[in-house]
Protein backbone atom coordinates (compact mmCIF):
# COMPACT_ATOMS: atom_id res chain seq x y z
CA UNK A 1 0.00 0.00 0.00
CA UNK A 2 1.16 3.51 -0.81
CA UNK A 3 1.12 6.30 1.76
CA UNK A 4 2.40 9.84 2.00
CA UNK A 5 4.82 11.01 4.68
CA UNK A 6 6.01 14.45 5.74
CA UNK A 7 9.67 14.56 4.75
CA UNK A 8 10.37 18.15 5.79
CA UNK A 9 8.78 21.35 7.08
CA UNK A 10 9.46 25.07 6.68
CA UNK A 11 7.91 28.39 7.57
CA UNK A 12 8.29 32.10 7.19
CA UNK A 13 7.06 35.06 9.22
CA UNK A 14 7.29 38.65 7.93
CA UNK A 15 9.73 40.92 9.72
CA UNK A 16 7.30 43.46 11.15
CA UNK A 17 5.84 42.54 14.55
CA UNK A 18 2.64 44.19 15.77
CA UNK A 19 2.11 43.91 19.53
CA UNK A 20 -1.10 44.25 21.52
CA UNK A 21 0.29 47.54 22.88
CA UNK A 22 0.69 48.79 19.27
CA UNK A 23 -2.96 47.88 18.62
CA UNK A 24 -4.12 49.62 21.79
CA UNK A 25 -2.75 52.84 20.30
CA UNK A 26 -4.99 52.38 17.21
CA UNK A 27 -8.27 51.05 18.62
CA UNK A 28 -10.03 50.94 21.99
CA UNK A 29 -8.51 47.70 23.32
CA UNK A 30 -5.88 46.52 25.79
CA UNK A 31 -3.20 43.86 26.10
CA UNK A 32 -5.13 42.43 29.05
CA UNK A 33 -8.38 42.06 27.01
CA UNK A 34 -6.67 40.45 24.02
CA UNK A 35 -4.54 38.04 26.06
CA UNK A 36 -7.34 36.95 28.38
CA UNK A 37 -9.87 36.39 25.54
CA UNK A 38 -7.56 34.90 22.92
CA UNK A 39 -4.03 34.14 24.22
CA UNK A 40 -2.50 36.37 21.52
CA UNK A 41 0.36 38.74 22.43
CA UNK A 42 1.70 39.75 19.00
CA UNK A 43 1.49 38.93 15.31
CA UNK A 44 3.58 39.49 12.16
CA UNK A 45 2.49 41.79 9.36
CA UNK A 46 3.71 41.49 5.77
CA UNK A 47 5.47 44.48 4.17
CA UNK A 48 3.39 46.32 1.53
CA UNK A 49 5.35 44.72 -1.33
CA UNK A 50 5.31 41.20 0.18
CA UNK A 51 2.73 38.95 -1.48
CA UNK A 52 1.31 35.62 -0.34
CA UNK A 53 3.45 33.85 -2.95
CA UNK A 54 6.59 35.53 -1.50
CA UNK A 55 5.79 34.22 1.98
CA UNK A 56 4.94 30.82 0.46
CA UNK A 57 8.21 30.75 -1.47
CA UNK A 58 10.35 31.39 1.62
CA UNK A 59 8.49 28.72 3.63
CA UNK A 60 8.75 26.27 0.70
CA UNK A 61 12.51 26.74 0.30
CA UNK A 62 12.94 26.04 4.03
CA UNK A 63 10.75 22.91 3.75
CA UNK A 64 12.66 21.64 0.70
CA UNK A 65 15.96 22.15 2.51
CA UNK A 66 14.77 20.33 5.63
CA UNK A 67 13.50 17.44 3.46
CA UNK A 68 16.73 17.32 1.44
CA UNK A 69 14.63 17.61 -1.70
CA UNK A 70 15.48 19.74 -4.76
CA UNK A 71 12.76 21.95 -6.25
CA UNK A 72 13.17 19.97 -9.48
CA UNK A 73 11.86 16.84 -7.72
CA UNK A 74 8.47 18.41 -6.88
CA UNK A 75 5.60 17.05 -8.98
CA UNK A 76 2.62 18.73 -7.25
CA UNK A 77 2.04 22.07 -5.51
CA UNK A 78 -1.08 22.74 -3.46
CA UNK A 79 -1.35 26.15 -1.78
CA UNK A 80 -4.03 26.80 0.84
CA UNK A 81 -4.88 30.48 0.93
CA UNK A 82 -7.83 32.85 1.13
CA UNK A 83 -5.60 35.84 0.38
CA UNK A 84 -3.95 35.00 -2.95
CA UNK A 85 -1.80 37.60 -4.74
CA UNK A 86 -4.60 38.23 -7.27
CA UNK A 87 -7.85 36.70 -8.55
CA UNK A 88 -5.82 34.58 -10.95
CA UNK A 89 -3.41 33.03 -11.66
CA UNK A 90 -3.35 30.98 -8.48
CA UNK A 91 -0.76 31.56 -5.76
CA UNK A 92 0.39 27.99 -6.51
CA UNK A 93 1.24 28.82 -10.14
CA UNK A 94 3.05 32.00 -9.08
CA UNK A 95 4.92 30.00 -6.44
CA UNK A 96 5.86 27.38 -9.02
CA UNK A 97 7.43 30.11 -11.17
CA UNK A 98 9.23 31.66 -8.19
CA UNK A 99 10.70 28.24 -7.36
CA UNK A 100 11.93 27.99 -10.96
CA UNK A 101 10.04 24.79 -11.81
CA UNK A 102 7.14 24.01 -14.14
CA UNK A 103 5.16 21.35 -16.00
CA UNK A 104 3.25 19.64 -13.16
CA UNK A 105 -0.08 20.44 -11.44
CA UNK A 106 -0.19 23.47 -9.17
CA UNK A 107 -3.39 24.86 -7.70
CA UNK A 108 -4.88 26.67 -4.71
CA UNK A 109 -7.48 25.39 -2.28
CA UNK A 110 -9.69 27.87 -0.47
CA UNK A 111 -11.01 26.64 2.86
CA UNK A 112 -9.94 29.58 5.02
CA UNK A 113 -8.59 28.38 8.41
CA UNK A 114 -9.24 24.75 7.42
CA UNK A 115 -7.23 25.34 4.24
CA UNK A 116 -4.11 23.45 5.27
CA UNK A 117 -6.13 20.39 6.33
CA UNK A 118 -7.88 20.49 2.94
CA UNK A 119 -4.59 20.95 1.04
CA UNK A 120 -2.85 18.16 2.94
CA UNK A 121 -5.76 15.74 2.44
CA UNK A 122 -5.81 16.59 -1.29
CA UNK A 123 -2.07 16.09 -1.74
CA UNK A 124 -2.25 12.87 0.30
CA UNK A 125 -4.87 11.53 -2.12
CA UNK A 126 -2.68 12.46 -5.12
CA UNK A 127 0.26 10.59 -3.59
CA UNK A 128 -1.79 7.55 -2.53
CA UNK A 129 -3.35 7.41 -5.98
CA UNK A 130 0.08 7.46 -7.63
CA UNK A 131 -0.44 10.85 -9.33
CA UNK A 132 2.39 12.51 -7.38
CA UNK A 133 5.50 11.35 -5.58
CA UNK A 134 6.85 14.55 -4.07
CA UNK A 135 4.25 17.17 -3.19
CA UNK A 136 4.76 20.64 -1.78
CA UNK A 137 1.83 21.62 0.46
CA UNK A 138 1.72 25.21 1.63
CA UNK A 139 -0.49 27.42 3.78
CA UNK A 140 0.18 31.11 3.21
CA UNK A 141 -1.82 34.20 4.11
CA UNK A 142 -1.77 37.98 4.35
CA UNK A 143 -4.95 38.41 6.39
CA UNK A 144 -3.72 41.88 7.42
CA UNK A 145 -5.02 43.04 4.00
CA UNK A 146 -8.63 41.97 4.57
CA UNK A 147 -8.96 43.40 8.09
CA UNK A 148 -10.74 46.58 9.02
CA UNK A 149 -8.06 48.09 11.25
CA UNK A 150 -10.71 50.21 12.98
CA UNK A 151 -12.73 47.14 14.04
CA UNK A 152 -11.35 46.01 17.42
CA UNK A 153 -13.48 42.84 17.34
CA UNK A 154 -11.47 41.39 14.46
CA UNK A 155 -8.21 43.29 13.87
CA UNK A 156 -6.64 41.98 17.08
CA UNK A 157 -7.03 38.33 16.09
CA UNK A 158 -5.06 37.78 12.88
CA UNK A 159 -1.51 37.82 11.51
CA UNK A 160 0.44 37.02 8.34
CA UNK A 161 2.76 34.09 7.62
CA UNK A 162 3.37 30.88 5.71
CA UNK A 163 4.18 27.27 6.46
CA UNK A 164 5.01 24.40 4.12
CA UNK A 165 5.58 20.66 4.14
CA UNK A 166 7.14 18.30 1.61
CA UNK A 167 5.06 15.12 1.28
CA UNK A 168 6.80 12.08 -0.18
CA UNK A 169 5.44 8.72 -1.24
CA UNK A 170 6.24 6.03 1.30
CA UNK A 171 5.58 2.32 1.92
CA UNK A 172 4.41 3.09 5.44
CA UNK A 173 2.40 5.95 7.00
CA UNK A 174 2.92 8.90 7.24
CA UNK A 175 -0.52 10.19 7.00
CA UNK A 176 -2.88 7.59 8.46
CA UNK A 177 -6.21 9.33 8.04
CA UNK A 178 -7.65 12.64 6.89
CA UNK A 179 -11.21 13.90 7.34
CA UNK A 180 -12.80 16.96 5.75
CA UNK A 181 -16.14 18.58 6.54
CA UNK A 182 -18.11 21.62 5.45
CA UNK A 183 -21.49 23.14 6.24
CA UNK A 184 -22.37 26.11 4.06
CA UNK A 185 -25.40 26.93 6.15
CA UNK A 186 -22.97 28.69 8.50
CA UNK A 187 -21.31 30.76 5.75
CA UNK A 188 -22.46 34.08 7.21
CA UNK A 189 -20.94 33.86 10.72
CA UNK A 190 -17.42 34.37 9.38
CA UNK A 191 -16.93 35.94 5.96
CA UNK A 192 -15.15 38.47 3.80
CA UNK A 193 -18.09 38.93 1.46
CA UNK A 194 -16.68 41.43 -1.04
CA UNK A 195 -16.12 40.61 -4.70
CA UNK A 196 -14.95 42.40 -7.80
CA UNK A 197 -17.24 43.36 -10.69
CA UNK A 198 -16.98 45.90 -13.48
CA UNK A 199 -13.70 47.24 -12.14
CA UNK A 200 -15.03 47.85 -8.63
CA UNK A 201 -15.19 46.13 -5.28
CA UNK A 202 -18.75 44.96 -4.68
CA UNK A 203 -19.76 44.34 -1.06
CA UNK A 204 -17.44 44.69 1.90
CA UNK A 205 -13.86 43.54 1.35
CA UNK A 206 -13.23 43.31 5.13
CA UNK A 207 -13.50 40.25 7.34
CA UNK A 208 -16.50 40.19 9.62
CA UNK A 209 -17.37 37.64 12.25
CA UNK A 210 -19.94 36.71 14.85
CA UNK A 211 -17.29 35.80 17.42
CA UNK A 212 -19.50 33.95 19.85
CA UNK A 213 -21.24 31.89 17.14
CA UNK A 214 -17.84 30.97 15.70
CA UNK A 215 -16.57 30.04 19.14
CA UNK A 216 -19.53 27.75 19.88
CA UNK A 217 -19.39 26.10 16.46
CA UNK A 218 -15.61 25.55 16.57
CA UNK A 219 -15.55 23.96 20.02
CA UNK A 220 -18.26 21.42 19.15
CA UNK A 221 -17.11 20.65 15.61
CA UNK A 222 -13.44 20.15 16.55
CA UNK A 223 -14.27 17.82 19.45
CA UNK A 224 -16.53 15.68 17.23
CA UNK A 225 -14.01 15.65 14.40
CA UNK A 226 -11.16 14.56 16.68
CA UNK A 227 -13.20 11.60 17.94
CA UNK A 228 -14.40 10.64 14.45
CA UNK A 229 -10.87 10.74 13.04
CA UNK A 230 -9.49 8.53 15.81
CA UNK A 231 -12.44 6.09 15.51
CA UNK A 232 -11.97 5.80 11.76
CA UNK A 233 -8.29 4.95 12.28
CA UNK A 234 -9.12 2.39 14.99
CA UNK A 235 -7.25 4.50 17.54
CA UNK A 236 -8.13 6.27 20.79
CA UNK A 237 -7.07 9.58 22.31
CA UNK A 238 -4.61 7.62 24.46
CA UNK A 239 -2.65 6.81 21.28
CA UNK A 240 -2.05 10.49 20.55
CA UNK A 241 1.28 12.10 21.37
CA UNK A 242 0.67 15.61 20.02
CA UNK A 243 -2.15 17.90 18.96
CA UNK A 244 -1.20 20.53 16.37
CA UNK A 245 -4.34 22.67 16.21
CA UNK A 246 -5.28 25.67 14.14
CA UNK A 247 -4.15 28.66 16.20
CA UNK A 248 -7.26 30.84 16.53
CA UNK A 249 -7.95 31.08 20.21
CA UNK A 250 -6.32 29.38 23.20
CA UNK A 251 -9.71 28.73 24.78
CA UNK A 252 -10.90 26.76 21.73
CA UNK A 253 -7.64 24.79 21.76
CA UNK A 254 -7.89 24.05 25.50
CA UNK A 255 -11.39 22.75 24.96
CA UNK A 256 -10.24 20.32 22.23
CA UNK A 257 -7.34 19.16 24.44
CA UNK A 258 -9.73 18.58 27.34
CA UNK A 259 -12.03 16.53 25.11
CA UNK A 260 -9.03 14.36 24.14
CA UNK A 261 -7.76 14.16 27.76
CA UNK A 262 -4.49 15.55 26.44
CA UNK A 263 -2.41 17.73 28.76
CA UNK A 264 -1.56 21.17 27.36
CA UNK A 265 2.16 20.33 27.24
CA UNK A 266 1.24 17.91 24.40
CA UNK A 267 -0.43 20.70 22.44
CA UNK A 268 1.63 22.86 20.10
CA UNK A 269 0.85 26.51 20.82
CA UNK A 270 2.22 29.30 18.67
CA UNK A 271 -0.69 31.73 18.61
CA UNK A 272 0.81 33.92 21.35
CA UNK A 273 3.32 35.25 18.82
CA UNK A 274 1.68 34.40 15.48
CA UNK A 275 -1.96 35.32 16.08
CA UNK A 276 -4.40 33.55 13.78
CA UNK A 277 -2.64 33.11 10.43
CA UNK A 278 -5.57 31.16 8.96
CA UNK A 279 -4.36 28.47 6.49
CA UNK A 280 -0.75 29.10 7.55
CA UNK A 281 -1.26 28.44 11.23
CA UNK A 282 -1.01 24.63 11.30
CA UNK A 283 2.12 24.32 9.11
CA UNK A 284 3.72 27.23 11.01
CA UNK A 285 3.08 25.45 14.32
CA UNK A 286 4.23 22.13 12.87
CA UNK A 287 7.50 23.63 11.64
CA UNK A 288 8.22 25.49 14.86
CA UNK A 289 7.69 22.34 16.93
CA UNK A 290 9.59 20.10 14.49
CA UNK A 291 12.58 22.45 14.51
CA UNK A 292 12.48 22.54 18.32
CA UNK A 293 12.89 18.73 18.16
CA UNK A 294 9.54 18.03 19.87
CA UNK A 295 8.36 15.19 17.62
CA UNK A 296 10.07 11.79 17.80
CA UNK A 297 9.91 9.31 14.94
CA UNK A 298 6.87 7.04 15.32
CA UNK A 299 4.87 9.47 17.45
CA UNK A 300 1.24 10.17 16.55
CA UNK A 301 0.10 13.70 15.71
CA UNK A 302 -3.41 15.07 15.15
CA UNK A 303 -3.73 18.21 13.04
CA UNK A 304 -7.07 20.04 13.15
CA UNK A 305 -8.34 23.24 11.55
CA UNK A 306 -11.64 25.07 11.25
CA UNK A 307 -12.79 28.32 9.68
CA UNK A 308 -15.05 30.20 7.32
CA UNK A 309 -17.43 28.23 5.19
CA UNK A 310 -17.85 26.68 7.64
CA UNK A 311 -15.13 24.21 6.72
CA UNK A 312 -13.10 21.98 8.98
CA UNK A 313 -10.70 19.09 8.68
CA UNK A 314 -8.15 16.87 10.38
CA UNK A 315 -5.14 14.73 9.65
CA UNK A 316 -3.84 11.93 11.81
CA UNK A 317 -0.24 11.01 11.12
CA UNK A 318 2.77 9.07 12.33
CA UNK A 319 5.87 11.28 12.46
- The residues of the shown chain that bind ligand ACO, judged by CB under 6 A, are 29, 33-34, 37-38, 113, 152-153, 156-157, 190, 209, 211-212, 214-215, 218, 246, 248-249, 276, 306-307
Q: Whose Cβ is closer to ligand ACO: residue 134's or residue 247's?
A: 247
In this structure, are residues 309 and 182 in contact, taking their beta carbons and an 8 Å threshold?
yes
Residue nearest to ligand ACO (CB): 211
- 20, 93, 276, 300: the active-site residue: 276
249 among known catalytic residues:
no
198 among known catalytic residues:
no
Q: Whose Cβ is closer to ligand ACO: residue 162's or residue 248's?
A: 248
Q: Whose Cβ is closer to ligand ACO: residue 5's or residue 152's?
A: 152
Q: Whose Cβ is closer to ligand ACO: residue 157's or residue 303's?
A: 157
Q: Whose Cβ is closer to ligand ACO: residue 99's or residue 303's?
A: 303
- 113, 249, 274, 300: the active-site residue: 113
Min dist. Cβ of residue 156 to ligand ACO (A): 4
- 44, 246, 274, 300: the active-site residue: 246
Integer Cα distance of 287 and 206 in angstroms: 29
318 Cβ contact list (under 8 Å, min separation 6): 172, 173, 174, 176, 298, 299, 300, 301
155 among known catalytic residues:
no
Min dist. Cβ of residue 20 to ligand ACO (A): 9
Min dist. Cβ of residue 65 to ligand ACO (A): 29
Q: Whose Cβ is closer to ligand ACO: residue 165's or residue 282's?
A: 282
Min dist. Cβ of residue 119 to ligand ACO (A): 16
Min dist. Cβ of residue 1 to ligand ACO (A): 34
Per-residue three-class SS string for the chain: CCEEEEEEEEEECCCEEEEHHHHHCCCCCCHHHHHHHHCCCEEEECCCCCCHHHHHHHHHHHHHHHHCCCHHHCCEEEEECCCCCCCCCCHHHHHHHHCCCCCCCEEEECCHHHHHHHHHHHHHHHHHCCCCCEEEEEEEEEHHHHCCCCCHHHHCCECEEEEEEEEEEECCCCEEEEEEEECHHHCCCEECCCEEECCEEECCCCCEECHHHHHHHHHHHHHHHHHHHHHHCCCCHHHCCEEEECCCCHHHHHHHHHHCCCCHHHECCCHHHHCECHHHHHHHHHHHHHHCCCCCCCCEEEEEEEECCCEEEEEEEEC
Min dist. Cβ of residue 304 to ligand ACO (A): 10
Point out the residues that are catalytic.
Answer: 113, 246, 276
Amino acid sequence: MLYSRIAGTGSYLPEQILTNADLARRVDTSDEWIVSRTGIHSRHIAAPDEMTSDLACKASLAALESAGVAASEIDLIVVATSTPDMIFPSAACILQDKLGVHGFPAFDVQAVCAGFAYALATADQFVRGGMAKTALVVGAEVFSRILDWNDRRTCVLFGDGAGAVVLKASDEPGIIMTKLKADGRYRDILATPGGVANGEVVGTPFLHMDGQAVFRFAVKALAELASETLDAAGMTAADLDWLVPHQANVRIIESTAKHLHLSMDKVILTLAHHGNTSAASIPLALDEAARAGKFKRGEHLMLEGIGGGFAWGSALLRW
